[in-house]
Protein backbone atom coordinates (compact mmCIF):
# COMPACT_ATOMS: atom_id res chain seq x y z
CA UNK A 1 0.00 0.00 0.00
CA UNK A 2 1.18 3.50 -0.87
CA UNK A 3 -0.19 6.61 0.88
CA UNK A 4 -0.03 9.80 -1.18
CA UNK A 5 0.20 13.12 0.67
CA UNK A 6 -1.45 15.94 -1.26
CA UNK A 7 -1.48 19.60 -0.20
CA UNK A 8 -1.47 23.06 -1.79
CA UNK A 9 2.25 22.79 -2.51
CA UNK A 10 2.23 19.59 -4.55
CA UNK A 11 -1.24 18.78 -5.88
CA UNK A 12 -0.63 20.39 -9.26
CA UNK A 13 2.60 18.46 -9.77
CA UNK A 14 1.08 15.10 -8.89
CA UNK A 15 -1.38 13.15 -10.96
CA UNK A 16 -4.14 14.10 -8.54
CA UNK A 17 -7.68 13.51 -9.76
CA UNK A 18 -9.97 15.24 -7.26
CA UNK A 19 -13.12 13.81 -8.86
CA UNK A 20 -11.79 10.27 -8.41
CA UNK A 21 -11.21 10.88 -4.68
CA UNK A 22 -14.58 12.63 -4.22
CA UNK A 23 -16.34 9.68 -5.88
CA UNK A 24 -14.42 7.21 -3.70
CA UNK A 25 -15.31 9.06 -0.49
CA UNK A 26 -18.94 9.49 -1.51
CA UNK A 27 -19.24 5.77 -2.22
CA UNK A 28 -17.36 4.42 0.80
CA UNK A 29 -18.65 6.78 3.49
CA UNK A 30 -21.84 4.69 3.24
CA UNK A 31 -24.57 5.93 5.61
CA UNK A 32 -22.34 8.77 6.79
CA UNK A 33 -21.78 10.33 3.36
CA UNK A 34 -22.26 13.90 2.30
CA UNK A 35 -23.08 15.12 -1.17
CA UNK A 36 -20.17 15.10 -3.64
CA UNK A 37 -20.28 18.92 -3.74
CA UNK A 38 -19.69 19.10 0.03
CA UNK A 39 -16.80 16.62 -0.16
CA UNK A 40 -15.29 18.61 -3.02
CA UNK A 41 -15.57 21.87 -1.02
CA UNK A 42 -13.67 20.33 1.89
CA UNK A 43 -10.95 19.22 -0.53
CA UNK A 44 -10.81 22.69 -2.12
CA UNK A 45 -10.41 24.12 1.39
CA UNK A 46 -7.56 21.68 2.15
CA UNK A 47 -5.77 22.69 -1.06
CA UNK A 48 -6.37 26.43 -0.64
CA UNK A 49 -3.53 28.93 -0.39
CA UNK A 50 -5.80 31.54 1.25
CA UNK A 51 -4.78 32.76 4.69
CA UNK A 52 -6.48 30.76 7.45
CA UNK A 53 -7.27 27.83 5.17
CA UNK A 54 -5.38 24.71 4.20
CA UNK A 55 -4.84 21.13 5.20
CA UNK A 56 -4.11 18.02 3.19
CA UNK A 57 -5.53 14.93 1.57
CA UNK A 58 -4.23 11.39 1.98
CA UNK A 59 -4.97 8.75 -0.64
CA UNK A 60 -4.11 5.10 0.00
CA UNK A 61 -3.64 2.99 -3.12
CA UNK A 62 -2.91 -0.59 -3.98
CA UNK A 63 -1.98 -1.22 -7.61
CA UNK A 64 -3.21 2.28 -8.56
CA UNK A 65 -6.68 1.59 -7.06
CA UNK A 66 -7.87 3.83 -4.22
CA UNK A 67 -8.49 1.76 -1.09
CA UNK A 68 -8.73 4.63 1.40
CA UNK A 69 -8.81 8.41 1.61
CA UNK A 70 -8.70 11.11 4.28
CA UNK A 71 -9.31 14.88 4.19
CA UNK A 72 -7.85 17.09 6.93
CA UNK A 73 -8.72 20.80 7.08
CA UNK A 74 -6.80 23.43 9.02
CA UNK A 75 -9.22 25.56 11.00
CA UNK A 76 -6.97 28.59 11.41
CA UNK A 77 -7.91 28.53 15.11
CA UNK A 78 -5.89 27.51 18.13
CA UNK A 79 -7.47 28.65 21.35
CA UNK A 80 -11.12 27.63 21.38
CA UNK A 81 -11.26 24.93 18.72
CA UNK A 82 -8.51 22.60 17.53
CA UNK A 83 -6.32 23.81 14.66
CA UNK A 84 -7.20 20.71 12.61
CA UNK A 85 -10.40 18.91 11.75
CA UNK A 86 -10.46 15.45 10.23
CA UNK A 87 -13.35 16.00 7.84
CA UNK A 88 -13.52 12.71 5.93
CA UNK A 89 -11.99 9.27 6.16
CA UNK A 90 -13.15 6.18 4.32
CA UNK A 91 -11.80 2.75 3.49
CA UNK A 92 -13.05 0.49 0.71
CA UNK A 93 -15.78 -1.66 2.25
CA UNK A 94 -14.16 -4.83 0.89
CA UNK A 95 -11.01 -4.39 2.97
CA UNK A 96 -12.17 -2.73 6.19
CA UNK A 97 -10.68 -4.10 9.38
CA UNK A 98 -7.24 -4.66 7.83
CA UNK A 99 -5.52 -1.56 9.22
CA UNK A 100 -5.88 0.85 6.29
CA UNK A 101 -7.90 3.36 8.34
CA UNK A 102 -5.40 3.16 11.19
CA UNK A 103 -2.51 3.79 8.78
CA UNK A 104 -4.29 6.77 7.25
CA UNK A 105 -4.97 8.30 10.66
CA UNK A 106 -1.40 7.65 11.84
CA UNK A 107 -0.05 9.36 8.70
CA UNK A 108 -2.43 12.28 9.34
CA UNK A 109 -1.20 12.56 12.94
CA UNK A 110 2.40 12.69 11.68
CA UNK A 111 1.49 15.29 9.06
CA UNK A 112 -0.11 17.99 11.17
CA UNK A 113 0.66 19.91 14.33
CA UNK A 114 -1.70 20.56 17.19
CA UNK A 115 -4.94 19.00 18.27
CA UNK A 116 -7.42 17.39 15.91
CA UNK A 117 -11.20 17.34 16.07
CA UNK A 118 -13.49 14.99 14.21
CA UNK A 119 -17.23 14.53 14.14
CA UNK A 120 -18.47 10.99 14.37
CA UNK A 121 -21.97 9.72 14.86
CA UNK A 122 -22.49 7.51 17.89
CA UNK A 123 -23.58 4.54 15.77
CA UNK A 124 -20.53 4.67 13.46
CA UNK A 125 -18.47 1.51 14.07
CA UNK A 126 -15.26 3.50 13.37
CA UNK A 127 -15.70 5.27 16.71
CA UNK A 128 -13.85 2.37 18.37
CA UNK A 129 -10.80 2.89 16.14
CA UNK A 130 -10.77 6.61 16.92
CA UNK A 131 -10.89 5.87 20.65
CA UNK A 132 -8.02 3.34 20.35
CA UNK A 133 -5.96 6.04 18.61
CA UNK A 134 -6.51 8.50 21.48
CA UNK A 135 -9.55 10.50 20.40
CA UNK A 136 -12.08 11.16 23.15
CA UNK A 137 -15.49 12.71 23.43
CA UNK A 138 -15.33 16.25 24.74
CA UNK A 139 -18.64 17.71 23.65
CA UNK A 140 -21.94 16.62 22.21
CA UNK A 141 -22.45 18.57 19.01
CA UNK A 142 -25.83 20.19 18.59
CA UNK A 143 -27.06 21.87 15.43
CA UNK A 144 -29.92 24.11 14.50
CA UNK A 145 -30.32 23.49 10.79
CA UNK A 146 -31.81 26.32 8.78
CA UNK A 147 -32.47 26.47 5.08
CA UNK A 148 -31.09 29.44 3.19
pLDDT at 15 over 80: no
- Coil, strand or helix at 11: coil
The domains of the chain are located at: 2-132
pLDDT at 77 over 90: no
> According to CATH, what is the number of the domain 2-132?
3.40.630.30
User: Is 93:28 a contact under the CB 8 Å cutoff?
Assistant: yes
128-148 in b/e form (b: 16+ CB < 10 A) is: ebbeeeebeeeeeeeeeeeee
102-134: pLDDT as tens digits: 999 999 999 999 999 998 888 888 888 888 888
Spatial separation of the C-alpha atoms in residues 89 and 70, rounded to whole Å:
4
Amino acid sequence: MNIEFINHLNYKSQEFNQTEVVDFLHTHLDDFRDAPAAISKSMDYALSTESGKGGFILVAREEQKIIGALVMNSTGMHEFIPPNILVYIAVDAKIRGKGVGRQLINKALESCKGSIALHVEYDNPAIHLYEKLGFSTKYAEMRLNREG
